[in-house]
């Protein structure tokens, strides 16, 4: 078996045996379900907890199913990304710090196989979580609010998946660069959230940006998507992912000497 | 499998229509429906808790005392097991 | 034939020399002990030869293509892998033929005494078991050169004995470079001694060469009684020290030779019970070299 296969098997066993393969998708499914359910029961919940005078009639506009799906994505953008960062911050930095990497690095190890095995495994779990969460969320949305055009749903999911690939690449490159898991988390969170904040505040000036992919994903539901901006943003994201992976491989090789002996 | 999913979906939709048609205050229907809708949520919550507890029992050391994590996993809904997996468990 | 040639090997961290122009060669199928006090650069030297650290200056020339086996002082394993899974992974990364991986891994684990723990998770292993697994992963791909950093220091006497015996049996097939601060171990298995102090190689050679260089051999005279010994001492033939009925005579430049001592003893009829000659132990040499400014 080639090194990539051997190392991917190791990553698979790790994620299986520390239950990441189960708990991360479970959390995404929960988030996906709770959004439509809580939306649906919001009037009743407010009714039962709020001390409203007799006879008050609260009018809530029932959300469109598309809005519910976009709201699920909103949950993933905050809690979901945080979970990915916390789950994979130490995947390289932690191995170096604890010294478990030493026995790998002292062998004729291909660092591209090493980094890619981690990238592929984290990507599989992240995409599995996001898609299972979307599907579970859509099932509930469909039951409670109605259906969404299937193609638009797929476009929505695929566009968001591209953004998730970028997030995973950022986390892994940070883990390769930083001396420990905590700093890797801080750097990833900083890049992911601060850049989004900046893009949100000033982003009207540049329609082409990887950071706009989540917004573009939701735009599939509204017919208001400039295809040229969209494809340029996707291409830019793709290039960034490749760049981050190459940087990650080079840095993990360069910093191999910092593993604890 | 597919057939079952469609049928249960139809069931849900019909109950939803019924629910909308019935006069407000028919709380019995509301509660049973709520239960059905929340059942998967409860199952996943319970699953997370059980996975976390099994892992807690099997793992030799955690960050912080084991009993504390046991309490957190059981008492704090959803967040408890996640906190354990992210912070309590020594992953590296 | 020399297997590995190290020339002027140097490692500096921010201008501080951890290893300072060290040169030596390793001959095929020999054991070399790297000794020296803590912080003398043993681990840094081994790490550079293992390829984990890049040397600042100097060169490491290898006369072989097949791999290196490396055992760090505190080997760390992925706790969720079993001993067999880990050893197989190690073998595969080192390029062992896929068909042979399973068999070779099991045989190696049996060799190091983990035959009954192959399917146990490494996270549950005791210190002794970790050291054995560390040795297993270092030899599973049958490397020509074995680099062992303090292979037995963390073990109890029984475990140390067993591992030392394993290492000695490995010497038939591999060249071994190991560091230790337990000098009895070094005395037991060494064709070449390398003595590091503050990053510099201060002594080098076979055990007997080093010993003879530092030897201040003693002649020990054992008398029948304490009185006889005291009497002999009072004659003040040469500088000597008495401990009860034993007198130690250092044979140095100003001291006597063995023949002179024998001649005096024959004349004196002094109730001698035994004579033996003793050279300095490695430990004495170690203390001497380590303490020398």
Residue B8 pLDDT > 80? no
pLDDT (tens digit per residue) in C168-227:
999 888 999 999 888 888 888 889 999 999 999 988 888 888 877 776 667 788 888 888
Residue C13 vs residue A128, higher pLDDT = A128
A26–B86 CB contact, under 8 Å: no
* pLDDT cut 70: percent of chain B above it: 64
pLDDT (tens digit per residue) in A141-171:
999 999 999 999 999 999 999 999 999 999 9
Taking CA atoms, what residue in C is nearest to A94? C78
Compute how many other C-beta atoms are within 10 angstroms of the C-beta atom of residue C95: 13
- Long-range contacts of the stretch C10-14 (C-beta < 8 A, 24+): C10/C55, C10/C56, C10/C57, C10/C58, C11/C41, C11/C44, C11/C45, C11/C48, C11/C53, C11/C55, C11/C56, C11/C199, C12/C56, C12/C57
Q: Is B33 in CB contact (< 8 Å) with chain A?
A: no
Residue A238 pLDDT > 90? yes
- Two tokens, residue A103: 């026995």
Q: Which CATH architecture has domain C2-212?
A: 3-Layer(aba) Sandwich (3.40)
Identity of the residue in A10, A17, A106 whose CB atom sits nearest the CB atom of C89: A10
Helix axes C127-139, C83-93, angle to 10 degrees: 30
pLDDT (tens digit per residue) in A86-110:
999 999 999 999 999 999 999 999 9
H-helix or E-strand spanning residue C180: strand C175-180
Q: Is B9 in CB contact (< 8 Å) with chain A?
A: yes
pLDDT (0 to 100) of residue A111: 96
pLDDT (tens digit per residue) in A174-183:
999 999 999 9
Residue A45 pLDDT > 80? no
Residue B51 pLDDT > 70? yes
Residue C233 pLDDT > 90? no
B12–A143 CB contact, under 8 Å: yes
> Range(s) for CATH 3.30.70 in chain C?
216-280
Report how far apart, in Å, the C-alpha atoms of C188 and of each of A119, B11, C165 are: 48, 82, 10
- Judged by average pLDDT, the poorest of C45-59, C149-163, C257-271 is C257-271
pLDDT (0 to 100) of residue C31: 94
pLDDT (0 to 100) of residue B26: 47
Chains in contact with B via at least 3 Cβ–Cβ pairs below 8 Å: A
Number of domains observed in the structure of chain A: 1
Report how far apart, in Å, the C-alpha atoms of C15 and of each of C12, C19, C54, C56 are: 6, 11, 15, 10
A19–B92 CB contact, under 8 Å: no
> Which of A11, A26, A47 is the best substitution to test chain B (most B C-beta atoms within 10 A)?
A26
pLDDT (0 to 100) of residue B2: 45
Residue C83 vs residue C183, higher pLDDT = C83
A23–B45 CB contact, under 8 Å: no
Nearest CA-CA distance, residue A242 and chain B, Å: 27
Domain C216-280 in CATH 1.10.10: no
Domain that holds residue A169: 16-258
Nearest CA-CA distance, residue A235 and chain B, Å: 33
pLDDT (0 to 100) of residue C234: 82
Q: Is C89 in CB contact (< 8 Å) with chain A?
A: yes
Q: Is C85 in CB contact (< 8 Å) with chain A?
A: yes
Q: Is C67 in CB contact (< 8 Å) with chain A?
A: yes
């Amino acid at each position: 078996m080639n090194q990539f296969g051997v190392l991917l098997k190791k990553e698979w066993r790790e994620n299986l045996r520390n239950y990441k393969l189960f708990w991360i998708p479970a959390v995404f499914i929960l988030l996906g379900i709770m959004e439509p359910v809580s939306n649906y029961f919001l009037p009743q919940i407010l009714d039962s907890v709020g001390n409203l005078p007799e006879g008050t009639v609260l009018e809530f506009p029932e959300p469109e199913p598309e809005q519910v799906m976009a709201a699920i994505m909103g949950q993933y953008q905050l809690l979901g990304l945080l979970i990915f960062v916390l789950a994979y911050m130490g995947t390289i930095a932690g191995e170096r710090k604890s010294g478990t990497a030493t026995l790998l690095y002292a062998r004729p190890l291909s660092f591209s196989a090493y980094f890619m095995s981690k990238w592929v495994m984290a990507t599989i779990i992240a995409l599995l979580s996001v898609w299972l969460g979307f599907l579970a969320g859509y099932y509930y949305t469909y039951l409670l609010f109605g259906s969404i055009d299937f193609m638009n749903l797929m476009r929505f999911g695929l566009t968001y998946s591209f953004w998730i690939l970028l997030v995973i690449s950022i986390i892994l490159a940070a883990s390769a660069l930083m001396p420990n898991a905590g700093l890797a988390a801080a750097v990833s969170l900083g890049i992911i959230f601060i850049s989004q904040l900046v893009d949100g505040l000033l982003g009207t000036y540049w329609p082409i940006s990887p950071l706009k992919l989540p917004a573009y994903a939701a735009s599939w539901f509204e017919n208001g998507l400039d295809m040229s901006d969209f494809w340029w943003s996707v291409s830019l994201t793709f290039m960034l992912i490749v760049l981050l992976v190459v940087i990650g491989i080079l840095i993990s090789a360069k910093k191999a000497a910092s593993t604890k002996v | 499998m597919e057939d079952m999913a469609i049928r249960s979906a139809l069931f849900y939709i019909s109950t939803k229509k019924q629910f909308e048609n019935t006069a407000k205050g028919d709380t019995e229907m509301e509660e049973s429906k709520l239960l059905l809708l929340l059942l998967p949520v409860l199952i996943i919550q319970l699953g997370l808790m059980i996975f976390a507890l099994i892992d807690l029992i099997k793992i030799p050391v955690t960050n912080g005392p084991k009993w504390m994590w046991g309490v957190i996993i059981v008492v704090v809904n959803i967040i408890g097991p996640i906190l354990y997996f992210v912070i309590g468990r020594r992953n590296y | 034939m020399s297997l590995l040639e190290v020339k002027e090997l140097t490692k500096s961290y921010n201008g501080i020399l951890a290893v300072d122009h060290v040169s030596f060669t390793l001959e095929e199928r020999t054991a070399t002990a790297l000794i020296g006090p803590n912080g003398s650069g043993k681990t840094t030297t081994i790490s550079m030869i293992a390829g984990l650290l890049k040397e600042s200056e100097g060169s490491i020339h290898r006369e072989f293509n097949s791999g290196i086996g490396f055992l760090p002082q505190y080997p760390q394993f992925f706790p969720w892998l079993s001993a067999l899974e880990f050893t197989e992974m190690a073998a595969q990364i080192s390029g062992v033929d896929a068909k042979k991986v399973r068999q070779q891994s099991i045989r190696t684990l049996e060799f190091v005494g983990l035959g009954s723990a192959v399917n146990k998770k490494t996270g549950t292993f005791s210190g002794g078991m970790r050291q054995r697994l560390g040795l297993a992963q270092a030899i599973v791909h049958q490397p020509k050169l074995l680099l062992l950093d303090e292979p037995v220091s963390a073990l109890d006497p029984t475990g140390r004995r067993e591992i030392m015996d394993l290492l000695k049996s490995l010497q038939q097939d591999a060249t071994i470079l190991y560091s230790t601060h337990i000098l009895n171990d070094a005395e037991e298995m060494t064709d070449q001694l390398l003595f590091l102090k503050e990053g510099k190689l201060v002594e080098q050679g076979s055990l007997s060469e080093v010993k003879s260089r530092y030897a201040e051999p003693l002649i020990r005279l054992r008398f029948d009684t304490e009185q006889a010994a005291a009497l002999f001492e009072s004659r003040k033939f040469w500088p000597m020290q008495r401990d009860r009925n034993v007198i130690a005579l250092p044979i140095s430049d100003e001291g006597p030779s063995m023949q002179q001592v024998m001649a005096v003893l024959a004349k004196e009829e002094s109730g001698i019970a035994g004579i033996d000659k003793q050279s300095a132990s490695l430990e004495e040499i170690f203390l001497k070299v380590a303490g020398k400014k």
